[in-house]
Amino acid sequence: MAAADLRTEQLVRQYYPYLVRLVQSIVHDAAEAEDIVQETFIAAMLNIDNETATINYKSWLSKIAVNKARDLLRRRKVRDRWQAIWRVTKRSQTNGRLPEDIASHNETIQQLWLAVESLNEKHRLPIVLRYGQNLSIREIADVLEIKEGTVNSRLHNAQKELANILDIDVEQMLLLQGGQA
C-alpha cells in the first residue's frame, strides 16, 4: 500500500467522526453532513501533496469541511427561496382573499411563468426541474448529462436573469407573492 493511501486511511479513521459532528452542527442534517465529509476528504486528498509535512490536519480538514457546509447553506437558502416562489405559483390561495388580490396574484404567477419561458433552454430546464419538479442537483445533472457544478451555475444565472426580467430581486418577488423574505 502506498504511503499516501496509508495517510488517507489514517486521516479518515482519525477525523471522520469529528468532521461529521462538526458539519452536522452546521447543516443540521445527518445525511448531508456525511456527504459533505466525504466531499471534504476527496478535496483534501486531491490537494494533500500541495500541503507541507507540518500541516495541522485537523485544522486543515475542518476548514475544508466548514467551507463546504457553508456552501451548502448558501445553496439551500437560494433553493428554499425559489421553491417558496414555485409553491406559491402552483397553488391558488383564494380563501378569504378579495377578487382583486386573487387577480393580482394570478397576474404575478403568469408573469413568472412567462419569464421562465423566455429563458434559453440551458437556463430554463434546470429551473423547471429544480423548482417545478423538485429534483435534486444530482438528479438534474443526471437528466441533463452535465456536471453538478454546471447545474448550480445555470440555476444561479437563471435566477439572476429571472429577477432581471421581472425587474425585482428575490425578496421583492417573495413579498409580491405572499411568501416571506
Query: Over 85-116, what HEC string results?
Result: HHHHHHCCCCCCCCHHHHHHHHHHHHHHHHHH
Looking at residue 20, its pLDDT comes to: 95
Q: Residue 58 is placed in which grid cell?
A: 485537523
Instruction: For residues 99 and 87, give the distance between their C-alpha atoms in angstroms, rounded to a whole number.
Output: 20
Domain residue ranges of the chain, discontinuous segments joined by +: 3-73, 92-176
- Are both 3-73 and 92-176 of the same fold? no
Query: Tell me: the pLDDT tens digits for 23-55?
Result: 998 888 999 999 999 999 999 888 877 666 678
- The amino acid at 90: K
- Mean pLDDT to the nearest integer, 100-122: 77
CATH 1.10.10.10 fits 92-176, yes or no: yes
Instruction: For residues 24 and 127, give the distance between their C-alpha atoms in angstroms, rounded to a whole number.
Output: 28
Query: Tell me: the pLDDT tens digits for 134-181?
Result: 788 988 888 888 999 999 999 889 888 888 887 766 555 445 434 443
Fold entry, domain 3-73: Rna Polymerase Sigma Factor; Chain: A (1.10.1740)
The per-residue b/e assignment along 8-38, b for 16 or more CB within 10 angstroms, e otherwise, is beebbeebbeebbebbbebbeeeebbebbbe
Query: Tell me: the pLDDT tens digits for 46-92?
Result: 887 766 667 888 989 999 999 999 988 888 887 777 777 666 665 54
